Amino acid sequence: MTALDFSFFNWNVVSGFVIKGFFFSIQLTLIAMIGGIALGTVLALMRLSGKPWLVMPAAAYVNTLRSIPLVMVILWFFLLIPLLIGRPMGAELSAVITFTVFEAAYYSEIMRAGIQSVPKGQVYAGYAVGMTYAQCMQLVVLPQAFRNMLPVLLTQTIILFQDTSLVYAIGAYDLLKGFEVAGKNFNRPVETYLVAAVVYFVICFSLSMLVRRLQQKIQIIR
Partner 1 sequence: MKWDWQVFLQDTGGGQTYLEWLMSAWGWTLSVALCALVVALLVGSLMGILRTVPNKWLVLLGNSWTELFRNIPLLVQIFLWYHVIPSIFLALRGVPSFMLVVFALGFFTSARIAEQVKAGIQTLPKGQRYAGLAVGLTLPQTYRYVLLPMAFRIVIPPLTSESMNIIKNSSVAFAVSIAELTMFAMQAQEETSRGIEIYLAVTGLYFISAFAINRIALFIENRVQVPGMIGGGK
Q: Name the DSSP letter for residue 132.
A: -
Closest separation between CB of residue 204 and partner 1, Å?
Answer: 4
Does residue 81 contact residue 113 with C-beta atoms inside 8 Å? no
Closest separation between CB of residue 197 and partner 1, Å?
Answer: 5
Closest separation between CB of residue 91 and partner 1, Å?
Answer: 14
Does residue 140 contact residue 126 with C-beta atoms inside 8 Å? yes
Nearer residue to partner 1 within complex by CB, 19 or 207 = 207
Q: Name the DSSP letter for residue 10.
A: S
Q: Name the DSSP letter for residue 1.
A: -
Distances (CA, A) of 16 to 1, 10, 13, 27, 56: 30, 10, 5, 18, 49
Give the footprint of partner 1 on this chain (CB under 8 A): 1-2, 4, 67-72, 75-76, 79-80, 83, 162-163, 165-166, 168-169, 176, 189-190, 193-194, 196-197, 200-201, 204-205, 208
Nearer residue to partner 1 within complex by CB, 143 or 171 = 171
Closest separation between CB of residue 71 and partner 1, Å?
Answer: 4
Nearer residue to partner 1 within complex by CB, 54 or 65 = 65
Closest separation between CB of residue 68 and partner 1, Å?
Answer: 6
Nearer residue to partner 1 within complex by CB, 54 or 71 = 71
Q: Name the DSSP letter for residue 4.
A: P
Nearer residue to partner 1 within complex by CB, 138 or 185 = 185
The torsion region of residue 3 among left (phi > 0), alpha (psi -120 to 50) and beta comes to beta
Kindly calculate the radius of gyration of the chain based on its CA atoms and give it in whole angstroms: 21
